Amino acid sequence: MKIISSPKEMKEFSASMKAEGKKIALVPTMGALHNGHLSLIDIARQNADIVVVSIFVNPTQFGPNEDYDKYPRQLQADAEKCEEHNADVIFAPTPDEIYLKDASTFVNEEQISQHLCGKSRPKHFRGVTTVVTILFNIVKPDVAVFGEKDAQQVSIIERMVRDLFMDVQIIRAPIIREESGLALSSRNKYMTKMEQDGATRIRKALLAGKELVDTGVTNLDRIKALVIHKVTDAKTRVIYVEVVDAKTSLPISELNIGKSRISIAVWYGETRLIDNIII
Ligand code: AMP
């Protein structure tokens, strides 16, 4: 497995693979890899000849008071995991290699990103779409794998790829969880064991919402109210609970059974967590 940091070298590597007719898959991550990320690498492996995992804590997707500085960075441990999962390349550039000092161009999706996490993290998705475009331009993947843990993010990426006629196929990967139900996240590291136990109420609340729908309830306010009630304890601050279209992540006014999603974001103590469930 190669570790490449220079965008120029990454471009040259991709060009040489393409010249040999190889299909390239990209798995974009911010590192601190866990089994959720590794499942994406496995899916990429099944869909391409060459698997590139990018590891880049992207400054432009963090707000001024967010956790950019304290975000976990552990390239050595990540490299071992990538190797075990048969990745071919880790692309791990520095911020200076990705963003020139006077860079002034951004990619902005302007509809889906207005909702859900876009409301409380105003420039977050602009940072995501910009860095994903840059990564696509450097790595030139035929396919890219994104997790449904960040369902709104993958909806926005799909919209961007469609709107800008990008030649890359987007694959959605299912959410990987702890046995407790807690969705795996690099940010789970911020929580104590007790908080991680408490945060399992997020999954339980989503399941309660789904069960309500399974009993025949379709009123969106009732579904949301139940989820908010179930998720709330002394450590929970609900950022949003919304019922959205499962594919586009846009708000809906009527439930479409099997094609809708409950999306949730909370502060659990000092940690911002998101999760979702198809209903
Ligand atoms: P991140 O490193 O948090 O930017 O995530 C990189 C990719 O891994 C994104 O496509 C995420 O949606 C995906 N991912 C993160 N956590 C999970 C999980 N628990 N299950 C599946 N995919 C995940």
The string of pLDDT tens digits covering residues 219-266 is 999 999 999 999 999 999 999 999 999 999 999 999 999 999 999 999
pLDDT band at residue 193 using 50, 70 and 90 as cut-offs = very high
Q: What CA dihedral angle connects 121, 218, 148 and 71, to 10 degrees?
A: 30
Q: Which helix (H) or strand (E) holds 27?
A: strand 24-29
CA distances from 241 to 14, 93, 117, 140, 257 (A): 41, 36, 11, 36, 18
78: CA distance to ligand 1 center in Å? 14
Chain centroid to CA 275: how far?
A: 11
Closest among 77, 1, 4, 67 to 34, alpha carbons compared: 77
Report which ligand 1 atom has the smallest distance to the Cα of 150.
Answer: 12
The structure tokens 């876009």 sit at 118
Count the neighbouring beta carbons within 10 Å of the beta carbon of residue 99.
Answer: 16
Is 69 within 8 Å of 59 (Cβ atoms)?
no
222: CA distance to ligand 1 center in Å? 30
Sequence-ordered list of residues with C-beta below 8 angstroms from that of 23, at least 6 positions apart, any chain: 47, 48, 49, 50, 142, 143
- Return mean pLDDT, the chain: 98
Residue 23 amino acid letter: K
pLDDT, residue 132, reads 99
Name the 3-class secondary structure at 216.
coil
pLDDT, residue 102, reads 98
DSSP assignment letter at 182: P
Report which ligand 1 atom has the smallest distance to the Cα of 175.
Answer: 20
pLDDT, residue 265, reads 98
Atom 8 (ligand 1): residue with closest C-alpha? 37
pLDDT band at residue 275 using 50, 70 and 90 as cut-offs = very high
Q: Of all residues in the chain, what percent carry a pLDDT higher than 90?
A: 100
Section 74-101 average pLDDT: 98
Please indicate whether residue 176, judged by its CB atom, sits closer than 6 Å to ligand 1. Answer: yes
Is 267 within 8 Å of 237 (Cβ atoms)?
yes
Name the 3-class secondary structure at 87.
coil
pLDDT, residue 55, reads 98
pLDDT band at residue 205 using 50, 70 and 90 as cut-offs = very high
Report which ligand 1 atom has the smallest distance to the Cα of 32.
Answer: 2
pLDDT, residue 242, reads 98
167: CA distance to ligand 1 center in Å? 22
Instruction: Find the catalytic residue in 37, 85, 115, 124.
Output: 37
pLDDT, residue 78, reads 98
pLDDT, residue 67, reads 97
pLDDT, residue 243, reads 98
Count Cα atoms within 13 angstroms, Cβ side, for 80: 5
Distance (Å, whole) CA 201 – CA 181: 9
